[in-house]
Structure 1
């Protein structure tokens, strides 16, 4: 019989709390005693006797919370990236930490990346202006078929994008820190599968470059000025992963100077992005406010992932998707 645990949920800010909170309640509360964190109440009392903490996005937890989480057997992050989470401090406290990896949000990330590629290839900004001014038939766009797509990182979201891009007839290359198996290459139609040493070559050949990496000390500004200059002036960059993977100033310069044709951006170095940020003023940039993975399906899947781990802890099993164990820390999404 599964033990009934005490679970504390750290919800996101009220302006974007749903459907995340309701899905967590539905997934967890029938089998465990779930309570919602109250910012107005004292910390020690709220964490007393708590077995599992559910941390929305890994953004809600603080060191003060970790200091009073002595009974916690699992700190479950409802999200994929952990670059903003103080993982080393949780390690020192001996609190196991798990996330909801890319498989739970890979499909919507891929859809958003594909949307950006379509919008850029069809000159979305210009078509909207022409529509409002009664101009027909221009500008002439391009098709995705036979265009080269370079995937930087080949985790869950990149594989989902590869499947969709293949259906559009795109030619796909991918680079990852691990070997991409021959079976994967056949399944996803990958023409060139490389390791980090091949990154520059893939950048130089691609018509679209899509980033699918976690942010860490090895990947921060992996696309710097030098690497952006390797890309073709007709190429476009797509980023639905983490803003700081790209040197934003170098990207802005490349777009302004015509050294890069366009960019589709869902993430930025500083979020939320200032409304008057120069990137938003460029006609060759399409952007969204970090919503590529924010779908009803992602919310349900992450809640189910968290609930499964709560049940495992209640059954005396190790939680899945641990990120506090060095062997399990990946760099692809």
Structure 2
């Protein structure tokens, strides 16, 4: 498709994920590839299991667990990681995070992170975390990064949350540690296969929650992204510098 697009100047993802774009081919043909930065376009949708207790006429159930005093590891401290840390801070958690480079983000990060680390620190940080939240981008370096070694180093009963891409977590390792009881729970907003099999045996575990990756599927976010797309199209047509997007090649 790219080789046939003689007049193509820009391929822009309606959001962040670029897995469906052949970036190398676009670069070869002189076509820019861009995404819309996630900052400001994600909203929160709540999944409330307590409705089950209401339907069963049970009050004071289920027993919850506090975030106060917990250590949360955020793998990949980009825009989503920063927004997550802002929401976690009021709950009295200790935040440890990893990032390829911290040099350019000192102002944005401020005092959101108690301990900063790089890729080399993930195993050490895994030992310290009560909750691990994966916010990494999927590439050849990060694919399957949450593997058997990583999960086995986590505290017994610790929680694992993946809100980035399914391929970041090794499926068999997660299943193994859920069945052994080492992994205290799994929350995923992305899956290993698309469409996700609703009969997947991993869902038999009561401590597994899956949501359909809809945090950005709201009227507000879609209208906001549509405006960015329109603005960039006008900039491109007028030969102006492209703003409001992230060029990746």
Normalising by structure 1, report the TM-score: 0.69
Q: CA deviation at 1:256?
A: 1.9
Q: Which residue of 1 aligns with 2:27?
A: 91
> Kindly tell me: are residues 138 and 322 of structure 1, through their superposed partners in 2, closer, same or farther at Cα, counting changes over 3 Å?
closer
Can you list the C-alpha shifts for 1:157-188, whole angstroms capped at 9, x where unaligned? Answer: 11101001002222111110012655455342
Once the two structures are TM-superposed, the CA of residue 221 in structure 1 deviates from its matched residue by 0.6
Following superposition, the deviation at residue 213 of structure 1 comes to: 1.2
CA distance in 2, matches of 1:67, 1:157: 34
Match of 1:186 among 83, 98, 110: 110
Kindly report which structure 2 residues correspond to 1:185-204, keeping only aligned pairs within 5 A, or say none. 185-188=109-112, 190-204=113-127
Indicate conservation of the 8 Å contact 1:175/1:194, yes or no: yes
Q: Alpha-carbon deviations, 1:250-297, whole Å to 9, x = none? A: 112211211111111110110111110112221001111121222222
* Secondary structure at 1:314 match in 2: helix
Residue 12 of structure 2 is aligned to residue 76 of structure 1 = yes
Structure 2: how far apart are the matches of 1:315 and 1:306? 14
- Conserved? CA contact 2:82–2:109, under 8 Å: no
Query: What CA distance in whole angstroms lies between the structure 1 residues aligned with 2:131 and 2:218?
Result: 24
User: What are the ranges of 5 or more consecutive residues in structure 2 without an aligned counterpart?
Assistant: none
- Change in CA separation of 1:227 and 1:299 when aligned onto 2, cut-off 3 Å: same
Are 1:221 and 2:157 an aligned pair?
A: no
* TM-superposed deviation, 1:133: 4.3
Deviation at residue 311 of structure 1 after TM alignment: 1.8
- Normalising by structure 2, report the TM-score: 0.90
Equivalenced residues, count: 247
5 Å-filtered alignment, 1:1-333, equals: 64=1, 66-105=2-41, 107-108=42-43, 111=44, 124=49, 130-179=53-102, 183-188=107-112, 190-320=113-243, 321-325=245-249
Task: Note if contact 1:243-1:269 (Cα within 8 Å) is conserved in structure 2.
Answer: yes
Offset of 1:314 from its aligned partner? 1.8
In structure 2, how many angstroms separate the alpha carbons of the residues matched to 1:182 and 1:322?
20
Query: Is contact 1:266–1:288 with CA below 8 Å preserved after alignment?
Result: yes
Asked if structure 2 preserves the Cα contact closer than 8 Å seen for 1:83 and 1:216, the reply is no
Counterparts of 1:195 and 1:254 in 2: how far apart (Å)? 25
Aligned to 1:11: none
Q: Residues 194 and 102 from structure 1, CA distance in 2 versus in 1: closer, same or farther, beyond 3 angstroms?
A: same
Structure 1 residues 299 and 182, CA, compared in 2 at 3 Å: closer, same or farther?
closer
Aligned equivalents of 2:20 and 2:9: distance in 1?
21
- Could you tell me how far 1:154 is from its partner in structure 2? 0.8
How far 1:67 sits from its partner (Å)?
A: 2.8
Contact 2:74 2:97 in 1 (8 A): yes
Structure with higher helix content: 1
CA RMSD of aligned residues (A): 2.1
